[in-house]
Chain A
């Protein structure tokens, strides 16, 4: 009997994986097409094509976010509640920044990392910014697209610069912060991107997210575990 499921915990359920991965792919498509159009890195015809791709990708980007929020509002609320819940261990994480400087050979702060939930303090700082900017980019983007002549000069300028420079700033955070930090956790990367369940070994979760494992995880009854249950 295959017992490999025995030590697995579902970390990224399907709705979260769909939202995250479509968001990631469309984000970078929007970034590249947007940069080419804004900095005029191609011929007028190519820039026109880039804007067309930009707009149609934005449709997917927007529907993806709207679908996540309105089809699985409980998952959206669980995420935000975790991000906005700070306790003493969250603050204590900053004593050694989760031990990440030590990985780079910088002996900063104590060796012991304060126990964290599903998100650590760094994620609690940066993820709300990501979520906020998904919404801000949707609002400013469609505002600029549909109401460009009705916005007035002041609002147009504000929306335009928030859209362009805000997205560049958040993309830099994702590219130089979020992605490298995710890549040093291969179990999380595999759980998020594999075409299969978003599971990680329970030992890994217990090490990185002890408070999550302790208070938010339940055990599923498998028929094999029940005496007299289903047998092969």
Chain B
């Protein structure tokens, strides 16, 4: 009796009448192809990112080896830095060094309109 309320006389047949077995396989295959293609595109560019990261890592290790061979593996071994503190900057973290070496001008770019970020 509930059907009496329906304000129409005709409707679409059930999905099984509209979508054949062949149609079901076709639609599933097309969806799978689109998803696979999308995944391939993302993997391609993501793979490139991985290449950039690993080649940069290799370069850093190579530079590190060169520094180690020359006895410059840490900043306190660097004669220029040593000379700076002995003749000019007093000692690491001194007031003078803080003002001279501390950088300003960092902006949090992910927060538009927030201005310069102060710290230290």
Contact = CB atoms under 8 A, between A and B. Distances in A.
Interface in B9-68: 9-15, 17-19, 23-24, 26-27, 30-31, 34, 38, 41-42, 45-46, 48-50, 52-53
Contact of B11 (A7, A9, A81, A224): A9
B71 interface: no
A228 to B, nearest CB: 14
A84 B13 CA distance: 19
A43 B12 CA distance: 51
B45 A155 contact: yes
Contacts, number: 122
Given A78-B15, A217-B10, A152 B1 contact: no
Nearest to B19: A81
A13 B12 CA distance: 9
A74 B19 CA distance: 9
Contacts of B46: 151-152, 155
Interface residues of A, number: 47
Chain B contact residues: helix, strand, loop or mixed: helix
Contacts of A105: none
Interface string B77-119: 0000000000000000000000000000000000011000000
Contacts of B8: 5, 8-10, 197, 199, 220
A199 B10 CA distance: 9
Interface of A: 4-10, 13, 43-45, 47-48, 74-75, 77-78, 80-82, 84-85, 132, 135-136, 139, 151-155, 158, 196-197, 199, 202, 213, 216-224, 230
Interface of B: 1, 3-4, 6-15, 17-19, 23-24, 26-27, 30-31, 34, 38, 41-42, 45-46, 48-50, 52-53, 112-113
